[in-house]
Amino acid sequence: MRHKSFLISLFLTLFLVSCATETTQISEVKSNITTAQTSPETKLKRVVALSSLSADIISELDKTKLVGIVGSKLLKDDTRFTDIPQVSQGQSPPNLEKIVALKPDLVIGVAGFSDAPLKKLNELGIETLSTKVYDWEGLEEFTKNIADRMGADSQPLLNRYKSFLPEQKSQENKNVSTLVLVSRQPILAPNKESWAGDIVTRFGAKNIAAELQGNNPIGGYVTLSAEKVLEANPEVLIVVNAEPTLLDSLKKEPFWQKLKATQNNQVYVFDYYGMVNPGSIAAIEKTAQELKKIF
């Protein structure tokens, strides 16, 4: 039991840190936006983004408005962000002094993780926006909202998002039973209230865990027993590399070789960014391309 608790804590830590430093936190529903000191009639000129996804979106809308970003591996090799100051490094919280020095008129943070720094910035008179992108509609809504605030045209980017999706759900594949696994101990799978659950469904798959609910501390994810996985017996298995050795670990489970997916060689490994954590526009596009090959 101690071993299991340790692994749960480790996974949660990695999960939340990644969400904070790399992208908008994944979870449920559409887009949940909370703004302090809102002045919609004033067009934004200087924005600090505390997630890689928001930084990417702002850069696509109007790169001249982005004055500060998080230190993220998803951004570090992108020349668009080379000369933009970083306000955080690794797992460290954002440097408030650096943010204040940039004189932003808006700081975009991650709901549930950036709450403390955003609250402090509010107290200092800086407007903040706290976001959650839990599904595709949330991605579109956040893009439209921030574009309106910037006085930018969101339609080209929305059209790009649309191009990632299949033109229509395949009638042949829409009922293919699919299970996405992100952890072994415990076995975690996304339900419909998560980015992963939503994007899989949008490609026509039948997410076995879609309607399941539980008390898992990670919103949008449910804990499954080995017996439940075997009972569900998915035709397609998607394993997310949130844990580097996850696939090898799952192969040791007694149920593994009994599943239709493994017997028919329908097991696929996806990157954490794009599948579980939206991460960036490029990460989402890559995931979409891989899903198109399956469904």
CATH code at position 62: 3.40.50.1980
- Choosing from 114, 132, 164, the residue where a domain stops is 164
CA 97, CA 120: separation in Å to the nearest integer? 11
CA 68, CA 248: separation in Å to the nearest integer? 39
CA distances in angstroms from 99 to 88, 111, 124, listed in the order given: 10, 18, 11
How remote is the C-alpha of 114 from its chain's centroid? Answer: 15
**What mean pLDDT comes out for the span 96-122?**
93
* Structure confidence at residue 12 as a pLDDT band (50, 70, 90): very low
pLDDT of res. 172: 54
pLDDT of res. 243: 83
- In this structure, is residue 255 part of a structural domain? yes
pLDDT at 15 over 70: no
Range of the domain at 74: 34-164
Lowest mean per-residue pLDDT among 37-51, 63-77, 104-118, 198-212: 37-51
**What mean pLDDT comes out for the span 241-260?**
93
* Pair of tokens at residue 214: 């539980």
Q: What percent of the chain has pLDDT over 90?
A: 72
| Same-domain check for residues 38 and 155 | yes
pLDDT of res. 214: 74
* Pair of tokens at residue 7: 């692994």
| Same-domain check for residues 72 and 154 | yes
Any residues with CB less than 8 A from the CB of 110 and at least 6 apart, and which?
A: 19, 20, 24, 25, 50, 51, 130, 131, 132
pLDDT of res. 34: 47
| Same-domain check for residues 195 and 225 | yes
CA 30, CA 60: separation in Å to the nearest integer? 21
Four-point Cα dihedral 49, 50, 54, 55, nearest 10: 50
pLDDT at 278 over 90: yes
CA 292, CA 204: separation in Å to the nearest integer? 10
| Same-domain check for residues 221 and 268 | yes
Mean pLDDT of the chain: 85
- In this structure, is residue 141 part of a structural domain? yes
pLDDT of res. 216: 66
How many helices (H) and strands (E) are present in the chain, helices listed first?
Answer: 12, 12
pLDDT of res. 25: 32
- In this structure, is residue 238 part of a structural domain? yes
| Same-domain check for residues 192 and 137 | no
pLDDT of res. 89: 82
Report the domain count for the chain: 2
pLDDT of res. 26: 29
**What mean pLDDT comes out for the span 44-51?**
96
Helices (H), 131-225: 136-150, 155-164, 195-202
Q: What percent of the chain has pLDDT over 70?
A: 83
